[in-house]
Structure 1
Amino acid sequence: MYLMRLALQSLANRRFSALLTVIAIALSVTLLLSVERVRTEARASFASTVSGTDLIVGARSGSVQLLLYSVFRIGNATNNIRWDSFEQISSQPQVKWAIPLSLGDSHRGFRVLGTNQAYFDHYRFGRDQALTLSQGKRFSDLYDAVLGADIARELGYQLGTELVLAHGAGAVSFVKHADKPFHVVGILAKTGTPVDRTIHISLEGMEALHVDWQQGMPARGAGQVSAEQARQLDLTPTAITAFMLGLERRIDTFTLQRKINEFSGEPLLAILPGVALQELWSLLSVAEKALLLVSVFVVLTGLVGMLTAILSGLNERRREMAVLRSVGARPLHIFSLLVLEAVSLTLAGIALGLALLYAGIAAAKPWLEQQYGLFLPLAWPTPSELKLLGGILAASLLMGCIPAWRAYRQALLDGLSIRL
């Protein structure tokens, strides 16, 4: 206890250099923990995007590509699936429910999803959580739309707001479906998934938008179909982008997957969402580990700075050490004093780093949720973060032994005679 008090008083006498050292360690700790928390929370956020879905089926491509465009609304499908193929597969005895997904349009950069009531009944996220409406109702009319929570908040849309959808999934589109506007009838509760940034309409509504389109362009003049005329037509879809399946028994998953992958009607691909997620993370793991490694080296740089500061001040403190020896301090006490100084600086840096981390999370949390759908909770450090902090403390203890050993040797040699 006496040595700790002495170490703190010694640091107080060198408060400016000590403060700079603490700040350097704190910034490196903040960076390391930020990378670790973003990495773990991003993985958890991705994993919780879809649950309870046994298979996702799309045109034959890659499993990661299919997962990205069907679940995360990233990228585009290589091809569509015929409606009769969907009906044939969804009628299999192993299938409990099926959710058709039709993508391709957007509104001010937000994706539009055409689906049916099964989407609201069976889609699950997180730990088997169902979709709920915070306002309004599900779509029922041909031109009804249900918004994700982020869209309603960012664009200020309310029930009854008119939407003009655009062709294509880009942020900017020069071809709009202005002749067939939609109206907001419902707003979904926040989910923390891509659902929050999706506009949901019926499959028939999606078909109505393109009923008079030919070769990717809208018809002109006499060939154009108005919004009311579209109501009189058969709007059964001819094709969809992908669909999700829930099975009666999980044991049938691989059997049905193989059957779909060998489907004779057209080339299809069925994937297990969990397996595709693992494949996605394996692709990202190199960048993930590289970023973590850079953060570790930044922490080591901060600790080396601390070591340099303590070593550079040893010669100036040789008289201080000699005085301590004169009042009864042993070389081991001198050694312990220097180690305690290094540990105290590191602990102060860790405490300040944690404070900066939580302040940064509190400030950036709304922006991260809005832009990336990433939730960073203001929670206590996780076990993995505590291990990292323990590693930093152990490294500082080892580094503190270097100047401590040097001071120990000097204390043995110098006694009360100081060579200046």
Structure 2
Amino acid sequence: MKSPIWQLTWRSLLNRRLTALLTVISVALAVALLLGVERLRHDARAGFASTISGTDLVVGARGGSVQLLLYSVFHIGNATNNVSWPSIERIAALPDVDWLVPLSLGDSHRGFRVVGTTAGFFEHYRHGRGQALRFADGQPFGGLFEAVVGAEVAARFGYRVGQRIVVSHGAGGTGFAEHDDKPFTIVGVLERSGTPVDRSVLVSLEGIEAIHVDWVGGARLPGVNIAAEHVRKFDLSPKSATAALVGLKSRVAVFRVQRQINNWSEEPLTAVLPGATLQELWNVVAVAERALLAVSALVVAVGLAGLVAVVIASLGERRRELAILRSLGASPGQVFRLLALESLLLSLAGCILGILLLSATVAAVGPWLESAHGLPLSADWPSLAEWRLLGAVLGAALLASLVPAWRAYRHSLADGMTIRI
């Protein structure tokens, strides 16, 4: 042969560029879906794991450990019961406890969670690799009706320090009565942390008590309206908390303190280790993850089957082309390599286009996913696991290409010289 096999392959693909382009797009969509599922799975795990660090125990009312972690740390779901304030104080006074940060959930602001806590939250809460929360503007709350908003809340509504906001009763987006007679003033805006704190409004526990001073059983008392300037005359000390984050003086004591809280005699409580409970969560969702990967793999298999079908279908049109190559001296092995190389190049182009398509999709919908659902997606270069998947796709494509290549190897000369009627 006068032309090298690579040049001949390239010219052959250019001659069938429309068919080749459609095949590449089909493979690219399948690869983008496969890598997208893998990246979503990996980034979701990394995002959940980096949400809280440095907290040894999370304490709440008796219930499931995964449920406790979800509603207290990730603000997913709601608590079935609260922890009484005397129990909170006794747990904080345990000899092995270094610090305790109570959390009070149940109210919202325009669809975002309102978290009642103490100033210790800004001191002790850690995320990622022990990173503390940082302020983009302002400072922690100190007054009764002062609030700190997360980065996403501030960005969504354009909030700045000094603005007033109104808290709604109930942890929902719409349809709840507002505490419009007792607005909060924003005194701080947090920097983005990639945690549920970004989508939270933080106020004091006394502030939560103040806005509910004229409420009973989740409803405003008929005919009673206590003005904001008069609520300080009432006892605003917290009566209960939804959960508490606990840090210990020594991690060696974590199991002893956990057992002590789980066997609490005053009321039924549950203390969980965040890391161990996250592992339980992964075990729960592992079936769904495998199912998504299996569906993605089937989509890739369909794309490769389409690739094989296109190459086999093109053999009918290339009967004489391949026969002429044979008659000019091309060996059956060279014809075999030609067909296999064409399929491999189409698959390689599909993988490259799939990576670019995934990067463009992540750049387009990543910020929305993070703000709306708290799922950060990285637009980084493919990870080692993604490269393995790409290698598996190329390996499967090479194996799939052997079918048309073998057929051309066996029948290229005789089939091409036979006149069909």
TM-score, structure 1 normalization:
0.97
Letter in structure 2 aligned against 1:54: D
Match of 2:10 among 8, 11, 14: 8
Indicate if the aligned counterparts of 1:68 and 1:74 stay in contact, CA closer than 8 A: yes
Q: 1:126 maps to which residue? A: 128
Give the % identical residues.
Answer: 54
Contact 2:170 2:176 in 1 (8 A): no
Letter in 2 for 1:45: G
Partner of 2:409: 408
Q: Which residue of 2 aligns with 1:346?
A: 347
**2:316 matched residue in structure 1:** 315
**Map 1:17-416 → 2, pairs under 5 A:** 17-221=19-223, 223-411=224-412, 413=414
Distance (whole Å) between structure 2 residues aligned to residue 142 and residue 183 of structure 1? 10
TM superposition shift of 1:371: 1.1
Q: What is the CA–CA distance in structure 2 between the aligned matches of 1:251 and 1:269, rounded to whole Å?
A: 19
Greater Cα shift, 171-180 or 7-16: 171-180
Contact 1:98 1:243 in 2 (8 A): yes
What displacement does 1:417 show?
A: 3.5
Residue 418 of structure 2 aligns to which amino acid in structure 1?
Answer: I
For residues 68 and 357 of structure 1, the distance between their equivalents in structure 2, rounded to whole angstroms, comes to 29
Amino acid at match of 1:418: T
AA of the residue aligned to 1:100: P
Do the aligned residues in 1 keep the contact of 2:151 with 2:189 (CA within 8 Å)?
Answer: yes
Instruction: Give, in angstroms, the shift of residue 413 of structure 1.
Output: 4.4
1:311 aligned partner, one-letter code: I
Q: Is the 8 A contact 1:167 1:173 kept in 2?
A: no
> Retained in 1: the 8 A contact 2:326–2:413?
no
Does the 8 Å CA contact 2:322/2:413 hold for their aligned counterparts? no
Shift in Å at residue 164 of structure 1? 1.2
1:193 deviates by 0.8
Extract unaligned runs of 5+ from structure 2. Answer: none
Deviation at 1:63, TM superposition (A): 0.7
Query: Cα deviation per residue 1:320-369 (whole Å; 9 max; x = unaligned)?
Result: 12211222211111111110010011011111111111111111122122
SS across alignment from 1:34? helix
| SS of match in other structure, 2:104 | strand
- For 1:372, give the aligned amino acid: H
How many Å separate the matches in 2 of 1:80 and 1:355? 49
Q: Distance in 1 between matches of 2:97 and 2:282?
A: 29
Measured against aligned partners, the alpha-carbon deviations of 1:167-220 in whole angstroms (never above 9, x if no partner) come to: 111111332212211110100110111100100001111111112222322224
User: In structure 2, what residue type is equivalent to 1:243?
Assistant: A
- In 1, Cα distance between the equivalents of 2:81 and 2:250? 29
- 1-side partners of 2:344 and 2:92: how far apart? 63
The answer on whether the counterparts of 1:54 and 1:273 sit within 8 Å (CA) in structure 2 is yes
1:418 aligns with 2:418: yes
Give the letter for the 2:354 counterpart.
Answer: G
SS of the residue 2:246 aligns to? strand
Measure the CA separation in 2 of the matches of 1:138 and 1:103. Answer: 18
The CA distance in 2 between the partners of 1:419 and 1:360, in whole Å, is 50
Distance in 2 between the 1:185 and 1:173 partners? 27
| 1: CA distance, partners of 2:392 / 2:419 | 38
Query: How many residue pairs align between the two structures?
Result: 418
Contact 2:209–2:237 under 8 Å retained in 1: yes
Cα pair 1:166 1:173 within 8 Å, conserved: no
> Partners of 1:405 and 1:179 in 2: how far apart?
80
Stretch of structure 1 that moved more, 185-194 or 319-328: 319-328
What is the CA-CA distance between 1:234 and the residue it aligns to?
A: 2.5
| Contact persistence 2:140–2:188 (CA under 8 A) | yes
Runs in 1 of length 4+ with deviation above 4 angstroms?
none
Letter in structure 1 aligned against 2:64: G
| Residue-by-residue CA offset, 1:90-137 (whole Å, 9 max, x unaligned) | 111111111100111111111111100110000001111101110011
Q: Say whether the 8 Å CA contact 1:53–1:245 is kept in structure 2.
A: yes
Per-residue CA deviation, residues 388-408 of structure 1 (Å, 9 max, x unaligned), is 100110011001111111111
Deviations 1:76-97 (CA, angstroms, capped at 9, x unpaired):
1111111110110111111111
C-alpha displacement of 1:233: 2.5
1:227 Cα deviation after fit: 1.1
Could you tell me how far apart the structure 2 residues matched to 1:322 and 1:178 are?
84
Shift of 1:379: 1.0
Question: Residues of 1 paired with 2:24 and 2:205: CA distance?
Answer: 59
